[in-house]
C-alpha cells in the first residue's frame, strides 16, 4: 500500500510494482485516518509501515516563509505521527510487525541554513526513539534510519555532490533501502548511513557549540 500526494505519479508507480495506492497528504490527519479505515476494510493486518514522506524547507529560518515552515513540520514530522497513529491497530494485529521512520542525519546534526528542515527531522527522530520504548514488548518494533544526502527529484543534493569531501558522503536510494531491510532483519533501532555521520551526531551531542561554529566557518569558506 502506497500513500503520496501526487496521484498520477503514485498510480503509475503502484502499477509498475503491483501495489495498491491511495492518494493522500500524510500531513492531513483526517485524510490519513480515512485512508487507514479503507485499508482496514480490505486487509486484516499489516506487518510493515515505512514513513518516508519528506520535503525540503528550501533555506534557513530567515529565508523561508512561515507557511513553508508549517508545511515542512506537517509533512516531515506529523506525517509520521498521523500514519503510525492511524495504522497502529493494523500493525498490532499483524505483530510481530515493524515501523521504519526515514528520518535524516539532519535530525541529529544541525548545519547552517538547515533550521526548519532539521527541526522537523529532530522531532521525527525523537518521536521514533520515544515510540521504540513505548511500544517495547507489544510486538511492534520501531526503527529510525538516518540517511545523509540522497539525490532525489525533491533533494538534488547538487552542493553535496560538487564538494570533493562531501560527495563521499552522498548515498543512493538503493543504499537506504538496503539499510531499511537490515534494520528490520536485525532489529536495529537506529541506523546512520553512511556510518561516519554517527560520529558527527555524537560530536553534536558532546560539543554543540564547537560543531556549530565549525560548520558555520566551513560554509563561509566554501
Taking only the tens place, the pLDDT of each residue in 99-130 is 999 999 989 888 777 889 999 999 999 999 99
Calculated CA dihedral for residues 201, 202, 208, 213, nearest 10 degrees: -70
Nearest to 144 by CA among 3, 46, 50: 50
Question: Where do the domains of the chain lie?
Answer: 1-43, 46-220
**How many CA atoms lie less than 13 Å away from 84 in the CB half-sphere?**
27
Judged against a pLDDT cut of 90, whether residue 148 lies above it is answered with no
Residue 55 vs residues 13, 70, 130, 209: alpha-carbon distances, Å? 19, 11, 23, 27
How far apart, in whole angstroms, are the C-alpha atoms of residue 5 and residue 54?
A: 11
- Give the tens place of pLDDT for each residue, 46-105: 999 999 999 989 888 889 999 999 999 999 999 999 999 999 999 999 999 999 999 999
Catalytic residues: 117
Calculated CA dihedral for residues 197, 201, 206, 210, nearest 10 degrees: 70
Written as nine digits, the cell of 193 is 548511513
Topology, domain 46-220: Rossmann fold (3.40.50)
Judged against a pLDDT cut of 50, whether residue 167 lies above it is answered with yes
CB atoms within 10 A of CB 162: 10
Confidence of residue 221 (pLDDT cuts 50, 70, 90): very low
Amino acid at each position: 500500500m502506497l500513500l503520496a500526494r501526487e496521484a498520477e505519479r503514485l498510480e503509475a508507480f503502484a502499477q509498475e510494482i503491483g501495489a495498491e495506492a491511495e492518494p493522500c497528504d500524510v500531513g492531513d490527519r483526517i485524510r490519513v485516518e480515512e485512508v487507514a479505515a479503507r485499508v482496514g476494510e480490505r486487509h486484516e493486518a499489516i506487518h510493515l509501515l515505512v514513513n518516508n514522506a519528506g520535503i525540503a524547507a528550501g533555506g534557513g529560518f530567515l529565508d523561508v516563509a512561515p507557511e513553508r515552515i508549517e508545511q515542512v513540520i506537517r509533512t516531515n514530522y506529523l506525517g509520521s505521527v498521523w500514519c503510525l497513529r492511524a495504522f497502529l491497530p493494523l500493525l498490532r494485529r499483524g505483530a510481530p510487525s515493524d515501523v521504519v521512520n526515514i528520518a535524516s542525519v539532519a535530525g541529529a546534526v544541525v548545519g547552517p541554513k538547515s533550521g526548519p528542515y532539521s527541526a522537523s527531522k529532530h522531532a521525527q527522530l525523537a518521536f521514533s526513539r520515544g515510540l521504540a520504548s513505548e511500544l517495547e514488548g507489544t510486538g511492534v518494533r520501531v526503527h529510525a534510519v538516518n540517511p545523509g544526502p540522497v539525490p532525489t527529484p525533491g533533494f538534488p543534493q547538487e552542493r553535496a555532490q560538487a564538494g570533493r569531501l562531501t560527495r563521499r558522503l552522498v548515498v543512493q536510494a538503493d543504499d537506504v533501502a538496503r539499510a531499511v531491510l537490515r534494520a528490520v532483519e536485525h532489529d536495529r533501532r537506529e541506523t546512520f548511513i553512511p556510518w561516519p555521520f554517527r560520529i558527527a551526531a555524537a560530536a553534536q551531542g558532546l560539543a554543540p557549540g564547537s560543531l556549530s561554529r565549525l560548520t558555520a566557518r566551513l560554509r563561509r569558506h566554501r
